[in-house]
């Protein structure tokens, strides 16, 4: 099935013309449809402002078009995770992402994953170093939504992120220190990390 045309052009135009007040981070609401088959995920975003203004400005300034900026963003993302296989963008109300489906062996912050390490300190260092390495490779893009559902971890403890639309749509050129500090502050709120004092986990992050 051609999921790019799941919504008719008439339906797309209705979403494009909606008058929705900005919400969190200044975003307007949008429709997000996720479909999966045996091999792939298909994500469709519809709404009047899919990409936030800061990203639009960056793409327009540094590329010949927003579409070219998105192409480069996907190239950067695939240099890390190599999972986006197709996309389509219509300014600024439609974004389609086709992604390779990846099975997970471990869930992030799960007991099974944490038990692969000698102690919780080694696990937090592993988590921190993976995030910092990924940020170094993301260049001007930003992605801070590192939680259990987005990260596929294989038997060798390697990561693949499967949720990339945020890096394309918002936060471009946000200082790394701000984003990494936000992730650090979430320690102790997710998975089995809730079993540990968050201040203790943040101390490991900062000092080990």
Query: Which residues partner with 151 through β-bridges?
Result: 161
Close Cβ partners of 170 (under 8 Å, ≥ 6 residues apart): 25, 27, 51, 52, 54, 55, 142
The residues, any chain, with a CB within 8 Å of residue 53's CB and separated by 6 or more, are: 26
- Tell me whether residue 8 is exposed, middle or buried, using C-beta atoms within 10 angstroms of its C-beta: 0 to 12, 13 to 18, 19 or more: exposed
Residue that wins the pLDDT comparison between 177 and 118:
118
| pLDDT per residue as tens digits for the range 71-128 | 999 999 999 999 899 999 999 899 999 998 888 899 999 999 999 999 999 999 999 9
pTM value is: 0.87
Provide the CA 205 distance to its chain's centre, in angstroms: 22
β-sheet bridge partners, residue 84: 99
Answer yes or no: are the C-beta atoms of 185 and 131 closer than 8 Å.
Answer: no
- The three-state secondary structure class of 169 is helix
pLDDT for residue 23: 56
Mean pLDDT rounded to a whole number for the chain = 88
> What is the average pLDDT across 154-159?
94
């Amino acid at each position: 099935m051609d999921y790019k045309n799941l919504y008719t052009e008439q339906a797309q135009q209705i979403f494009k013309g909606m008058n929705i007040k900005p919400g969190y981070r200044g975003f307007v609401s949008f429709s997000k449809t996720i479909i999966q088959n045996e091999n792939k995920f298909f994500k469709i975003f519809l709404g009047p402002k899919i990409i936030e203004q800061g990203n639009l400005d960056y793409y327009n300034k540094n590329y010949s078009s927003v579409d070219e900026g998105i192409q480069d963003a996907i190239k950067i993302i695939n240099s890390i995770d190599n999972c986006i296989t197709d996309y389509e963008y219509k300014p600024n109300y439609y974004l389609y992402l086709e992604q390779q489906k990846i099975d997970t062996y471990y869930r992030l912050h799960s007991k099974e994953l944490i038990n692969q390490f000698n102690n919780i300190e080694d696990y937090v260092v592993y988590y921190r170093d993976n995030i910092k390495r990924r940020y170094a490779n993301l260049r001007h893009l930003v992605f801070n939504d590192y939680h259990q559902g987005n990260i596929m971890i294989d038997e060798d403890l390697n990561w693949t992120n499967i949720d990339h639309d945020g890096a394309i749509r918002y936060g471009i050129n946000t200082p790394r220190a701000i984003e990494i500090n936000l992730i650090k502050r979430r320690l102790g709120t997710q998975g089995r990390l809730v079993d540990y004092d968050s201040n203790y986990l943040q101390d490991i992050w900062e000092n080990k």
